Structure formats: C-alpha cells, structure tokens
Amino acid sequence: MPLLAVRDLTIALPVGGRMVTIIDSVSFTLGAREILGIVGESGSGKSMTALALMGLIDAPGARITGSARFKGRELVGLPQRAFRDLRGREIAMIFQDPMTAFTPVYTVGWQIDEQIRAHGRVTRKDARARTIRLLGDMGVPDPARVADRYPHQLSGGLRQRAMIAMALSCNPSLLIADEPTTALDVTVQAQILDLLRRLRREYGSSVLLITHDMGVVAETCDRTMVLYSGIIAERGPTGAVFARPGHPYTAALLDSIPPLHGARPARLPSIPGSPPAPADRPAGCPFTPRCAYAHDACAVRPPLLPRGVQDIACVLPAEGRDLPARCATV
Amino acid sequence: MTAPLIEAQSLRMEYRVGRGQVLRALDGVSLAVRPGEVLGLVGESGCGKSTLGRCLLRLARPTAGRVVFDGTDITALPERTLRPLRQGMQMVFQDSYASLNPRRRIGDLIAEPLRVHRDGQGRRRTAADIAARLAELMDLVGLPQAALARYPHEFSGGQRQRINIARALALSPRLVVADEPVSALDVSIQAQIVNLFMDLRDRLGLTYVFVAHDLAVVRQISTRVAVMYLGAIVELGDADTVLHRPAHPYTAALIAAVPEPVVLPDGDRAPPLRGDVPSPIAPPPGCRFHTRCPSAQDRCRTDPPALRDPGDGRQVACHFPLTGG
Amino acid sequence: MAMAILRRLGQTLFVLVGISVLVFLVFFATPGADPTARIAGRNASPQTVARVRVEYGFDRPLPVQYIRMMEKLFVTRDLTSYVNRGEKVVPEVFQAAPVTVSLVTGAAVIWVLASVAMGTLAAALRGGWVDRGLMMLGLVGISIPVFWLGQVANLLTQSRYHDSWLFSWVPGLGYVPFMQDPLGWFRALVIPWFTLAVLFIGIYSRVLRADLVAVRGEDFMRTARAKGLSPARVLLFHGLRTSMITFVSLFGLDFAQLVGGGALLTEVVFGLQGVGRLTYQALGNLDLPLIMATVMYSAVFVVIANAVVDMLYLLLDPRVRDGRA
C-alpha cells in the first residue's frame, strides 16, 4: 500500500458567483521514502493540491471531492480536529519564504519547541534538547545559539534549515515542500536540495516537492508530475519524463529553459501566449491554444493514458506520433 | 576599439546602517560597456549588482568613484543638467506591476516620458507625434494597439513587462539597464521576454546592462559577464570564456550550483558550496570569498587579490585561478 | 541598548523644551496683549501690576522672561495665579493629577480587557452572528457621546433609581482619594470608568478585529496551523501576540492624551476636579500661569507616554530591538 494515494482530487472555489474548478481530477501515489515532484507554472494548482492534503483550504464555499488516502485513512472530508492531529506529526510542510513563514516575535527554538510539545507530553527541557539536535542534524552550525535567535537575525539558508528542522521535529512520514528553495540564493539552494535528498535516507520521510523549476525536479525527484492549468499533463519517473517528454507542454517547457552548457540557441524556443486562468480554461485539452501540435482531436479533453513508464494526457501517442526524445546536453 | 558607452571607475557605495556601522554595497568597482554590448551582472543577494545598475544610471549617487556616460562624467551632475542625458539611458525593473501606476491607461504611462522630454530639435512633441510613436512602440514589443487604452491589471506578467520595456524605449535610449527583468516570470513567459530583449538589441542597436541571478538567462543574452561577490567584481570577461571555463572558484561554484533540467546519477553531483554569503557589513579580510572557497590557502586569508588578466583577455580576482575549466 | 535609551531621553527633553518655548511664545509674546495685566487680573491695583512685572521680568528681554517662567514652574514652583486670588498653580495641578490618573487608568484597564476579549472573539468567529453583533455593539459605543452617556448614568444612579437596591451603593458625585478610603475611591469612580471606556472599547475592539483578520492571511499563521496547533493557540499566541504591536502604539497615544486633559467631559459630568477640568477653567479665565502649568503637565505626560510606548516596542518586537524595523 502506498503512503499516499490520491484519486480524482478535484477542488472548486466560488469565484464571482460561480464555482471554478482549480484542480481537476488529479491522481497520483507516493510510496515510502519516495520524492515526488509536482511542477507547474503559477496558476497550475500545485500549491492548492498541497494545501488540500494539509486540510488548510479554508476559503468559504470551497468544494473538495475525490479521495486522498494517507496510510489508508481518507483525508478528503476529514474533520479539522482529526486533521490537526495529523498536521505537524504525520504530515509536515515547509514553505517558500522562510522569512515570513516564522512568527517574527518568537525565537526559532521556541517555535520548534512549540510544535514538539503540541504533539506529545514533552518537558520544556527535553523539547529544547531535541530542537538543538534537529538543528544540528540540518547542518546548522552552533545549533544551541541559533535556537535562541529570532527569524530576522538568521540568513535565508539558516532560516530554511530551521524550517525543515521544525517540519521534521515529530518524525512525519510525509513532508510537503512548497517551493522550498525559490527565495534562496543558488548556492544555498544547492545546499537545501542536498539536505532534502539526505532526509529520505536519515529520516525515512517521503517528500512531495512542489516547484516551478524543472532543474530542481531533475536534481531531486524520483518521479515527476507536470500540472498545467489544474490538470495533469504528464507523470512518470523523472529520468523518463526529462529524456522523452510525452506531452508537448513538458517538451516546450524544457525547451524554453536557456541551456547552461553547449551551444547558445539564437532564439529560445518559447511557448506563445500565457496559461489560462482557471475560469477561462478551454473545454478540451487546456494547452491547445498554445500547442504547436494542436489539431481537431484536441477539442476533447484527452484522458491520462499509460505510454511506456509514463502516463500522458495527450492524443499524440494514441495517434502514433510520439514526440522526439531530447538529447541530454551536459 | 570603440569608446565605452558607459563606464564605472572605482565606484564605491556605502550606506550607514546605524550604530556607526557601514554597509559597503560597492567596494571599488570598475567596468566599461561598449556600444552594442550586453553586459550580464550576476551574483547572489547582497553582491551589489542592483546597486551597481542604479549607480550607472545615476538613480543612486555613488559615495566615491566616477560614472562616465558617452564621454560625459555624470557622477556629480545636478538633476537639471542630467535630465537631457537621461533620455539616452533607461531602466527596466523586476516587478512589472509595481512599476506601473494602476490607475492610468497604458497609453498614458508610455506617453509620459514623451510629454516630459523635448524631441531632438528641442521642440515639444505634438499629440500626433506621440500617437505615432506609441503605435510604433506597441509593434516593437509585440502588443496589440488596443492595449494602449487598457489598464495595467488587465495584463499578464509577461505583457506587463512588455509594457515596461515599451516605456523604457519611448525616448529611443542607447543604454538600457534591466534589473532582474525576467525573474518574476514563469519559465514559458521568461523565454518570450529574453527573446524580445535580444530582438530589440538587433533592431535598435541597444546596449544592455542585464542584472540577473539566473546564470542560464545571463548566458543566453550577454556578450560579456561580470560576476560579483560582496560588492566587488571577482571575474569579468566574454560570456563564453567566463561561463564555460570559469577561472574564479566562485564562478565555478555558482555554475555548479545551478540545478539543470537533466537527470544525473546521484554520485555525479559536485558537493555544494558551504555556508552562506557573509554580511556585507563585516566582509571577511583578504579575499572575500576565502570563507567558502574550496581551494583557499593561507595567503587568501590576509591578502586581497586584485583583478588581473590570467592571459586570455578576461579579468579575475584570485590568487590561484582555475585553469582548464 | 543603553545608548538607545539615552538617545531617546535626549529626544524627550528636546521635545519638552520645544513645546514649552512654543506655549510661552503663544501666550506671553503675542503682540498687543500685555501679559502683566493678564496675570494681575482684572481691576488689579497698580502696585500688584508693578509687582507682577518685576516678578516675571516682563520689563526685561523675552529669553529672560522665558527662563524666569520655567524657573517658577519647575524649580521654585511658586507660580501664582492672581486671577484666582493668589493660588499657587503648581500644587493645584498636582492635586488634580491623581484624580485624572485614577479615572483614566481604571477606564484603560476596562477598555483594554473588554476590547481584547471582544476583538479576539469576533475575529475567531469571523462572519458569524457573534462577530456581527459585537462589532455593531462597538459601533454603538463609538457613536454615543460621552457627556450624554455620563448624564444618563447620573440620572439613573444619582436620582431616579438611587434609592433602589441596584444603585444604593453609588456615592454622590466627586472624588475620594485612594489613600483615604480605597473602597470609596472605587465606588466613586466605577461608573465614570465605564462611561469613559465605552468609546475606546468600541474603537479598540474594531481595530483589533481588523488587525487579527488581516494577520490571518500571513504566512506564519499558515505555518502555525500546519504545525497542528489548536485554533485557539494559533489565534492567541501567533495572531494576537503579533497584533499587540499596533494595539500598544494606539493605546499609548490615547492614554497619554486622556491623562493630559482629554478626559475633560467625563470629569465635568461626574464632578471630578481633574486636569482636564482645571485646564478648561484656566482657559475660561485666561489664567495664564495656570494655562502654562497645565499645558506643560500634559506635554510632559504625552512625551513620557510616548517614550514608554517605544520601550514597550522593544519588548514586543525583536526586530525593533535590532533596529531593523
């Protein structure tokens, strides 16, 4: 049994008097010690998926349907009281900007202690000892001193390490990381990604990594799921998705990243237009208006169908017109 | 060799941050950009790249050093004398929304510099002149003419950045300083804007100073690259030379740290650089980078290295530059 | 830290001197008004006028007059009001101050407790009927004029229902010193306290609710919820604690202006001889020495209260402690 099995998760929010589907029938599984990357551009619904799994969507009138089984327990429709018990202990989350994600008026040690003491009968002294050990494990130099510092007194890298320490403080089986390195400098980002890869070995946590950065996914995730406008475009093992993208959106997204090595293209292959707002999503395949391969068959939304090790929501594989493989340039 | 269009000579920029402490945002930066060049300024937060961009346009006044634009020393020019020169140099900012007044139509926003400044013959532009120029600008940046009558919130991030570019180009500047112009955009949009910058350079013969933290974007657009660390340039040279065969260990570490959309076996990754960027209020003595440098020696801890040419036309500030890349 | 406090004290002193000079100039150096005649009072004998002139140095230059005035106010404390039959004004102010301080402090305790309870409860039950009801109540509190409310309270407790079991404990109007009879002090003030507090309960509960609702959207509130904390803990320890920073600054200003004489209406209605009433009388009689004394007293209080609020900031917000915010 997988740690997390999401089936047909659909989230709709009332916008201007009518329900708008933000996430449409998203399904995926996450195994033990696995890192799954959810990539997408802004408005793809990737963060909304994470918040739904945490039970943190509290917009009035939000409608969540489908199923999300965590260790066999249904999360959709779970009452807040039961969710509170899971949050922080079984499912933990780290956020994009560690500066604003800590309460500014308490020391980071206090905030980590608070989480430890919220989920078990632990004395203040024992909680602090665990906090300091965790900070040390996260590669924080002089953890006892850092625990007594306020968030604004720490560098971005240290703050994010403290945030990860807090998330791991109750040994969660699932860690959701929402753009954990976007606010960080590139050398610090490399350190944090290194840390995330190590976590699975040392803490045995599964990680759901949400990001817009294809590079971060390639470096970190076992499997990848590409979201476009609230719909899964493609999912599969990361190596396969990057070597043989099956959906034109994945391929175009990879192409539009300027290469760091090899020849410089005279022009970057770019995707025309911009992603649709959820309310204006086309009826068929949502990528049709921007797709170089768009044709009549795209007017009907294609189901997610297996193709090799991947699952692809596109009519091309069924028509026998697979996209060309990408040559990995290093 | 042509004369530089803009030149910075030993620029220093210091901010007082209370309690007698001084933040040295720029610590003796010199560089020259020739017409038609695209100089990429890269580095991590706090390296001074944005400050340098602002000093070049005299949006900030440096504490010491000189800025020379097209042969004129503009370091200490009063605002009145500076104004005619300002037409020749414009800036594009990161946040496409914050730099557009939400209550004004796009046409008004772009026309503003045209109304304020006189034309080449020293005359005020007529309404017809301005309308013609607006139409031309919309074509240049790839927006429909109808956009002129609409408001900023009606556009996506990428379109707003096109509007900002149109406004910057209104007075036909020769130099454009772009401060992280694509970093707030989605990848698929980012490529459109990078292409637009490159097209505009070819069509209008523009010179860019392109400030960005994304090495891949900088490599795509730049002819030359300056890598900055804690207020100083550590490496400066042709984009291909610097980014393919970095000589400074910091440049090398920066390149290695970029996550690339290519799946490598787990062992094939270089270990990341240790630690954080030190505070620019109390930079380390000697070479600023020695606290994080994998190949630091005793000498690096005391003796600050000067920029010098290791023999291939670039400049690097390192006692032990890497060879062979 | 010690440096910051010293600097703050210096500023406080500077502001006080500035205010005293300003008040002095307005009342004593206005052209066309002879301060001597004013101080001596109507129908004063020529001897009195001459004595006043010499005593206050009105025959000498302005700076000397100012220094003489400050000396009489702060050092010898024998500033005398001739209008009021030779009453020394400084002791008069010192007699009135405890009345005002008692009134305002008691009301402050009530309004802080009540508004924190109401604001927090409303924010916690946002959108429900409790929220709407409490906020409506707050609005009613803001709209009721304090003198009307006071009169109604007096009408009920002093005359109409005074003999009923409900209000028979209410003493007659006036002040009872705390040291003389603590219970009597409480009885005499409890109705004025509530009367004065009503307006502020309304304002503060609405401000706090708006603040708490705004803070709900902050990233750290989401983190707190993601940690699995109870809603009450999230609201009180993370939301309310952060909102207290604005609350305290508002409180400092209101408290200071009330103690400085702003509780005039409440004092008049309940027959309390406080500073507000004293100032009012002084202005009515154009009793210059008394005006000088009460204005200085209230300035001292406002400035000190501000300094206290700044100190509280240091306690409440670690970012201010580091000089970052």
Is 90 exceeded by the pLDDT of residue B109?
yes
Split at pLDDT 50, 70, 90, the class of B232 is very high
Instruction: State how far residue C134 is from chain A, nearest Cα, in angstroms.
Output: 21
- Of all residues in chain A, the one with the smallest CA distance to C242 is A105
Q: What is the pLDDT of residue A148?
A: 95
Low-confidence ranges of chain C (pLDDT < 70): 1-2, 4, 32-33, 42, 83-85, 323-325
The answer to whether B259 touches A189, Cβ cutoff 8 Å, is yes
| Best CA proximity match to B3, nearest among B85, B53, B70, B74 | B70
From chain C, the residues in CB contact with A97 under 8 A are 219
Asked if B102 reaches chain C (Cβ–Cβ under 8 Å), the answer is no
Number of CB atoms found within 10 A of residue B103's CB: 9
The domain spanning residue C204 has which CATH number? 1.10.3720.10
Asked if C179 reaches chain A (Cβ–Cβ under 8 Å), the answer is no
In this complex, do C229 and A118 lie within 8 Å of one another by their Cβ atoms? Answer: yes
Residue ranges per structural domain of chain A? 4-44+58-221, 227-319
| Best CA proximity match to A227, nearest among A249, A208, A209 | A249
In this complex, do A242 and B261 lie within 8 Å of one another by their Cβ atoms? Answer: yes
The answer to whether C140 touches C198, Cβ cutoff 8 Å, is no
pLDDT in tens, A69-89: 999 999 999 999 999 999 999
In this complex, the residue of C127, C230, C319 whose CB is nearest that of residue A84 is C230
Q: What is the pLDDT of residue B324?
A: 60
As a whole number, mean pLDDT of residues A129-136 equals: 95
Is 90 exceeded by the pLDDT of residue B211?
yes
pTM of the model: 0.87
pLDDT in tens, C63-109: 888 888 888 888 888 887 776 667 788 888 888 989 999 999 999 99
pLDDT in tens, A16-46: 889 999 999 999 999 999 999 999 988 899 9
C287 within some domain: no
What span, in angstroms and rounded, lies between the C-alpha atoms of B41 and B179?
9
In this complex, do A114 and C318 lie within 8 Å of one another by their Cβ atoms? Answer: no
Compute and round to an integer the Cα radius of gyration of chain C.
24
As a whole number, mean pLDDT of residues A276-303 equals: 92
> What are the structure tokens assigned to C277, written together?
């009433």
In this complex, the residue of C127, C242, C322 whose CB is nearest that of residue A153 is C322
| Best CA proximity match to B101, nearest among B144, B145, B151 | B151
As a whole number, mean pLDDT of residues A45-54 equals: 93
pLDDT in tens, C193-221: 999 999 999 999 999 999 999 999 899 99
The answer to whether C119 touches C209, Cβ cutoff 8 Å, is yes
> What are the structure tokens assigned to A72, written together?
């066999």
Instruction: State how far residue A268 is from chain C, nearest Cα, in angstroms.
Output: 36
Residue ranges per structural domain of chain B? 6-88+174-316, 99-170
Domain A4-44+58-221 classified CATH 3.40.50.720? no
Q: What is the pLDDT of residue C325?
A: 42
- Of all residues in chain A, the one with the smallest CA distance to C227 is A88
Q: Say yes or no: C121 and C20 in one domain.
A: no
Q: What is the pLDDT of residue C84?
A: 63
Range of the domain at C46: 2-76
Q: Which of A235-239, B57-61, C230-234, C250-254 has the lowest mean pLDDT?
A: C250-254
Q: What is the pLDDT of residue A5?
A: 96
pLDDT in tens, A291-303: 999 999 999 999 9
- Of all residues in chain A, the one with the smallest CA distance to B253 is A187
Is 80 exceeded by the pLDDT of residue B290?
yes
> CA A190, B243, B220 angle in degrees (round to 5)?
95
Cβ-Cβ contacts under 8 Å for C319 (sequence gap 6 or more): A104, A150, A152, C325
In this complex, the residue of A88, A103, A152 whose CB is nearest that of residue C220 is A103
Instruction: State how far residue A195 is from chain B, nearest Cα, in angstroms.
Output: 10
> What are the structure tokens assigned to B106, written together?
């796009």
As a whole number, mean pLDDT of residues B156-170 equals: 93
Q: What is the pLDDT of residue B266?
A: 63
Longest dimension (CA), chain C: 83
The answer to whether A316 touches A325, Cβ cutoff 8 Å, is no
pLDDT in tens, A144-203: 999 999 999 998 889 999 999 999 999 999 999 999 998 888 888 998 998 888 888 888
| Best CA proximity match to C29, nearest among C8, C55, C9, C57 | C57
What span, in angstroms and rounded, lies between the C-alpha atoms of B37 and B2?
11
In this complex, do A275 and B258 lie within 8 Å of one another by their Cβ atoms? Answer: no
Phi/psi of residue A5, nearest 5 degrees? -130, 110
- Residues C289, C290, C294, C297: is their CA dihedral positive or negative? positive
In this complex, do B264 and A252 lie within 8 Å of one another by their Cβ atoms? Answer: no
Q: What is the pLDDT of residue A15?
A: 87
Q: What is the pLDDT of residue B20?
A: 73
What span, in angstroms and rounded, lies between the C-alpha atoms of C4 and B55?
33
From chain C, the residues in CB contact with B18 under 8 A are 323
Asked if C227 reaches chain A (Cβ–Cβ under 8 Å), the answer is yes
Split at pLDDT 50, 70, 90, the class of B268 is low
Instruction: State how far residue A156 is from chain B, nearest Cα, in angstroms.
Output: 8
Q: Say yes or no: C174 and C238 in one domain.
A: yes
Residue of A96, A268, A327, A329 to mutate, testing the B interface (most B Cβ within 10 Å of its Cβ): A268
In this complex, the residue of B217, B260, B266 whose CB is nearest that of residue A218 is B260
pLDDT averaged over every residue in chain A = 92
Q: Which of A258-272, A287-301, B130-144 has the lowest mean pLDDT?
A: A258-272
What span, in angstroms and rounded, lies between the C-alpha atoms of C147 and C114?
21
From chain B, the residues in CB contact with A185 under 8 A are 44-45, 213, 277
The answer to whether B238 touches B255, Cβ cutoff 8 Å, is no
In this complex, do C316 and A152 lie within 8 Å of one another by their Cβ atoms? Answer: no
Q: Please indicate whether residue A4 or residue B17 has the higher confidence score (pLDDT).
A: A4
Q: What is the pLDDT of residue A115?
A: 96
Is 50 exceeded by the pLDDT of residue B325?
no
- Alpha carbon separation from B165 to B5, B70, B93, C150, C177 (Å, rounded): 20, 22, 9, 64, 73
C86 within some domain: no
Q: Say yes or no: C130 and C245 in one domain.
A: yes
Give the total number of structural domains in chain C.
2
Q: Say yes or no: C61 and C182 in one domain.
A: no
In this complex, do A101 and C222 lie within 8 Å of one another by their Cβ atoms? Answer: yes
pLDDT in tens, B178-208: 999 998 898 889 999 999 999 999 999 999 9
DSSP B23-46: EEEEEEEEEEE-TT-EEEEE--TT
Residues 4 to 23 of B: which have CB under 8 A from any C CB?
18-19
Q: What is the pLDDT of residue B323?
A: 82
In this complex, the residue of C218, C224, C319 whose CB is nearest that of residue A152 is C319
Cβ-Cβ contacts under 8 Å for C60 (sequence gap 6 or more): none
As a whole number, mean pLDDT of residues B106-117 equals: 91
Strand-strand pairing, B64-69 and B6-16: antiparallel
Asked if A60 reaches chain C (Cβ–Cβ under 8 Å), the answer is yes
Q: Please indicate whether residue B33 or residue A273 has the higher confidence score (pLDDT).
A: B33
Split at pLDDT 50, 70, 90, the class of A328 is low
Phi/psi of residue B8, nearest 5 degrees? -110, 130
Cβ-Cβ contacts under 8 Å for A229 (sequence gap 6 or more): A43, A44, A45, A275, A276, A278, A281, A286, A287
Classified by CATH at the fold level, domain B6-88+174-316 comes out as Rossmann fold (3.40.50)
Cβ-Cβ contacts under 8 Å for B17 (sequence gap 6 or more): B23, B281
Q: What is the pLDDT of residue C12?
A: 82
Helices (H), chain A: 46-54, 80-86, 98-101, 108-118, 124-137, 143-147, 156-168, 186-203, 214-220, 238-243, 248-255
Strand-strand pairing, B72-73 and B64-69: antiparallel
As a whole number, mean pLDDT of residues A254-258 equals: 92
* Helix, coil or strand: residue B123: coil
C296 within some domain: no
Q: Which of A163-177, B54-68, B74-88 has the lowest mean pLDDT?
A: B74-88
The answer to whether C130 touches C122, Cβ cutoff 8 Å, is yes
- Alpha carbon separation from C211 to A60, C119, C142, C206 (Å, rounded): 20, 9, 18, 9
In this complex, the residue of C230, C231, C318 whose CB is nearest that of residue A105 is C318
As a whole number, mean pLDDT of residues A65-70 equals: 96
Is 70 exceeded by the pLDDT of residue A330?
no
What span, in angstroms and rounded, lies between the C-alpha atoms of B172 and B190?
24
Asked if B262 reaches chain A (Cβ–Cβ under 8 Å), the answer is yes
Q: Say yes or no: C150 and C253 in one domain.
A: yes
| Best CA proximity match to B290, nearest among B325, B258, B315, B253 | B253
